[in-house]
Amino acid sequence: MNNFSVTRERAMSLEPKTVRDTQTPVDRELLFDLKSGRTTPSTATPPTLSSASLRWDGVLVEEHSVPSVDVAEVCPVNHVVAICLNSNVELEWTSNGTGQRVMLQSGTVSLIPAGCIHSARVTSTCRYITVSLTPAFVAAAANAFPNGRPVQLRCLVGGQDGFLAGVAMALRQEVEKGGHGRLYGEALAVALAVHLVHHYAEEPVELNVPAGGLSQDRLRAVLRHIDLNLAEDLNLNALADRAGLSAYHFARMFKESTGTSPHQYVLRCRVEQARLLLQVSGGRVVDVALKVGFSDQGHLARHFKRAYGITPEVFLRTEVRRRRVPVRA
């Protein structure tokens, strides 16, 4: 029996509600302490940046700056990808009875699977980003693979993986900007999860790449759902459910059918709907932005200008002036 199985059994017996196989949003990255049988946030101090308010399904991004790290006999509740942000950070790491010293540099990547029992010690200031994925989120991504076996990931400490580092930084940037809605962040997280299963699964698996796009019926159902719920904070899993597919397969097949990603398609629909509302009603830009699903007026303005070359305010003034000009017979 591996460490993951031992930890899961012990965690479930000591604190039944601690280890959760759900895709619900989480508020903090969590560690399970085997000695106390309790679950606590990974750091005593709150993160300097967090995606918790964005409510991404099964995904949490945090940025930390801590003066030191000293944990013993703990394991993460979720799969954690950590990216070091500063250089020459000496990490003392022990897992599976083996200890090692690793010199972390800016950009080095660590992967600590859910249930990986470890001890870690850092005596200098460490800045890092973590992306936590619930086991259920990664298992859902594994539907892109044909064997259907439970996903068990291997540990990586202080390694190099440009893809993981790049996606983690893109997620961090999305959090820092305030988010463009759940679709984009969750799509990035799905790509990260698929990469983990493809490259870090204990047992090798081959990616099952779907051929072709969505059927007409599936595509029609998804587009109708988007149209009827444009003002809502649409998420990738809900759209994938409409098509009866995993999020990974859905995103690929949707792009095959429409020529664009679900995120870009929804943005395009929202911008076009905003243009029509401004043209017909002449309402306030902020009200229109919220009515079509943008987070605020600035969010609409960025994408409106990208699409039409002018801001919504300029467009609205132009339309008002045009309507005031009398039409000559």
Would you give per-residue pLDDT tens digits along the chain (329 residues)? 344 444 444 443 433 333 334 344 568 999 999 999 999 999 999 999 999 988 888 899 999 999 999 999 999 999 999 999 999 999 999 998 899 999 999 999 999 999 999 999 999 999 999 999 999 888 877 776 666 567 789 999 999 999 999 999 999 999 998 656 788 888 899 999 989 988 998 876 666 666 788 999 999 999 999 999 998 888 888 899 889 888 888 888 999 999 999 999 999 999 999 999 998 877 789 999 999 998 889 889 989 999 999 999 998 888 766 765 443 43
Task: Provide the residue range defining the domain that includes 149.
Answer: 3-200
Which distant-in-sequence residues (6+ apart) come within 8 Å of 13 by Cβ? none
Query: 301 lies in a domain?
Result: yes
Q: Are residues 22 and 129 in the same domain?
A: yes
**CATH code at position 283:** 1.10.10.60
**CATH code at position 191:** 2.60.120.810
The DSSP secondary-structure symbol of 153 reads B
Q: What is the predicted pLDDT for the residue at 282? A: 74
Query: 211 lies in a domain?
Result: no
User: What's the structural domain count of the chain?
Assistant: 3
Q: Are residues 149 and 232 in the same domain?
A: no
Q: Are residues 37 and 129 in the same domain?
A: yes
Q: Are residues 9 and 74 in the same domain?
A: yes
Query: 210 lies in a domain?
Result: no
Q: Are residues 56 and 90 in the same domain?
A: yes
Nearest residue to 27 via CA among 48, 50, 7, 43: 50
| Strand-pair partners of 109 | 83, 159
Which H or E element spans position 109? strand 109-112
Which distant-in-sequence residues (6+ apart) come within 8 Å of 187 by Cβ? 236, 247, 251, 261, 262, 263
Q: Are residues 38 and 187 in the same domain?
A: yes
Question: For the chain, how long is the longest CA-to-CA vector?
Answer: 90
Q: Of 200, 229, 244, which one is at a domain's C-terminal end?
A: 200
Question: Which pTM value belongs to this model?
Answer: 0.79
